[in-house]
Structure 1
Amino acid sequence: MLFDDEQAVALAVALQIATTTGAGIEEAAARALTTVRQVMPARLRHRIDTLQLAAIQPPTTRPNPQADSSVLITLSAAIHADEVLRFDYAPASPAGAGDNNSAGTAPRRVQPHHLVTWRGRWYLVAWDLDRDDWRTFRADRITPRTPTGPRFTPRDLPGGNVAAFVTSRFRGSDGSGDWPCRGEVILDLLAAAVVPYSRDGIVQELGPNRCRLTLGSWSWPGLASAIGRFDADIEVIGPPELKRACTRLARRYADAATI
């Protein structure tokens, strides 16, 4: 696939952003950025070399454990193939606890459904075959086993979609509750380019340059404005209130441009 100058620079910038996300893809993004930079004309290399990014975290925030890029690829492949996945699940602490795997125990067997990010961490949403229930698993604690299992027919997630499910699972875990206005869109952008700016939103990778973003706000115009800051084509999935807010903002911006 051939890229024009602006697309090549945009790809390089997205990869550089991905090296600062803290979502476990930094090393792979850095390798890809090096490859892209090597094949760029000198004039474009100069443009991207002037961009220096750094991830700033509050002093009290501990860095999130990183998920290995090869694990993310394995999980994504099983999801797209609708194949049962087996994996070892490391304990959250050295002592181990609850429903995590310990050494010598049987691997988890799940029907994988979605790979999402939540506040800088990657999670696998899956139906746990042994516990007969839905579970979320932190990708940085997963060690996949091969081969994958038989194919399955995907189940319907509680709440109707992955955003509603993940939001309900994490709601109240930090005392923040939920936003009164929450909407869902598809962006023509790399998921890694969206994650740093999604706040407490949910980002789901749909393809190399396409992702689903679920985001909340105190008002529908505020939500539409937050989504509009992404420099990409936007497809509003819903709800209707978000579509109407986008229409109103578009009209306001168009009027402002003619004044």
Structure 2
Amino acid sequence: MTSDMTARTLRLLSLLQTRREWSGDDLADRLQVTVRTVRRDIDRLRDLGYPVDSTRGHAGGYRLAAGTDLPPLLLDDDEAVAIAVALRTAAGGLRGIEETALRALAKLEQVLPRRLRTRVTALQQSMSGIVWETRGPRADPALLSTLAVTCRDHEIVTFDYTTRAGTTAPRRVEPQHLVASGDLWYLLAHDTGRDDWRVFRLDRITGVTVTGHRVPARALPGDDPAAFVAEKLSGAPTRHRAVATVRASADHVRTHTRYLTARIRPVDEATCVVDASDDSLTRIARTLACLTADYALDADPDVLDHLRATARRTLHATG
């Protein structure tokens, strides 16, 4: 009897961790018990330190709330392995998280069963990562975490946003998705002041305030938030213009460049256009160097001067 109750309580905890809110009827149906038994099990979780909030109503509702201390989390085998591997590689894109990730990893691996430690080690030994040079500021983990929660809960936030031109203005938005591109993170959100979708770079966001006001989820623009953000970025103004007409198919170019897909536009089966425009002359040269076919270039004079100077240095170095 006691073991059944313990197993059911753990199952209840697992359910509460997978959804923001459950009705009493739903939990009772999942656990195959009465609503009254669910209420007793909820009280047991509270006695163990889990902050479970309840709401009044016909069947009542329950959600696992934030507390003053972090209670133990219930993870299945696959979740534990995924978290351990992610912690081992967490230093790749977030500023200041390396030491914190190592501390968390040490705690997790201390309690992992031997069979799971073996899986984690095997995965890590078979994985390799390429560390590219930093092309921009990394994201603040605290900001990333805050916005991730507001995206999940559809909660309006306000912040100050600095544009590329250096002007700062207050914004009020409904966060929807976070999208990573290289070292940069972007927030896809519906700007309530402009009544339109906008893309915000996280390193240009300051003074975030979570309003506590939740709104219904909006229909996203398109099926793929990352593709939408890529398209928005491809149309954003840049300091230097460089557009290459490449004598190769778009598919061929995509397989040889690490560039945004939205910047590659097919013309026909043997030709495509690559928009290599950027704020950095060095990145433009790097993108064009990745093209493995002949191309004609339409670019600003400063881009052409930079490319000619680079070519002269290369020719001089090779004799």
1:29/1:68 CA distance change after superposition, 3 Å: same
DSSP-derived class of the 1:170 partner: helix
Assess if the C-alpha contact under 8 Å between 1:119 and 1:200 holds in 2. Answer: no
Q: Radius of gyration: which is bigger?
A: 2
Give the Cα separation in 2 of the matches to 1:124 and 1:176: 29
Matched, 1:112 2:175: yes
Matched, 1:139 2:193: no
Give the Cα separation in 2 of the matches to 1:7 and 1:172: 38
Gaps of 5+ in 2: 1-73, 237-241, 253-257, 267-319
The AA in structure 2 aligned to 1:17 is T
Report the alpha carbon displacement of residue 179 of structure 1 after superposing the two structures with TM. Answer: 6.0
Matched, 1:88 2:151: no
Assess if the C-alpha contact under 8 Å between 1:75 and 1:112 holds in 2. Answer: yes
DSSP-derived class of the 1:84 partner: strand
Matched, 1:33 2:108: no
Assess if the C-alpha contact under 8 Å between 1:12 and 1:48 holds in 2. Answer: no
Which residue pairs with 1:56 in the alignment?
A: 131
Gaps of 5+ in 1: 182-198, 203-215, 219-259
Assess if the C-alpha contact under 8 Å between 2:156 and 2:172 holds in 1. Answer: yes
Taking structure 1 as the reference length, what is the TM-score of the superposition? 0.51
Aligned length: 173
Report the alpha carbon displacement of residue 31 of structure 1 after superposing the two structures with TM. Answer: 3.6
**Deviation per CA, 1:55-74, whole angstroms, max 9, x where unpaired?**
522xxx44431211111121
Report the alpha carbon displacement of residue 90 of structure 1 after superposing the two structures with TM. Answer: 4.0
Q: Which stretch shows the higher mean deviation, 166-175 or 117-126?
A: 166-175
Q: Which has the higher helix share?
A: 2
Percent sequence identity is 40
Which residue pairs with 1:158 in the alignment?
A: 221
Give the Cα separation in 1 of the matches to 2:113 and 2:244: 48
Matched, 1:168 2:240: no
1:36/1:176 CA distance change after superposition, 3 Å: farther
The one of 171, 178, 189 aligned to 1:126: 189
In the TM superposition, what are the counterparts of 1:1-259 in structure 2 within 5 Å?
1=74, 4=77, 8=80, 11-19=83-91, 21-24=92-95, 26-27=97-98, 28-40=100-112, 44=117, 48=121, 55-57=130-132, 61-90=133-162, 92=164, 97=166, 100-101=167-168, 105=169, 107-148=170-211, 150-171=213-234
Give the Cα separation in 1 of the matches to 2:131 and 2:146: 30
Q: Which structure exhibits the higher relative contact order, with contacts defined as CA atoms closer than 8 Å and separated by 6 or more residues? A: 1
The CA RMSD measured in Å over matched residues stands at 4.2
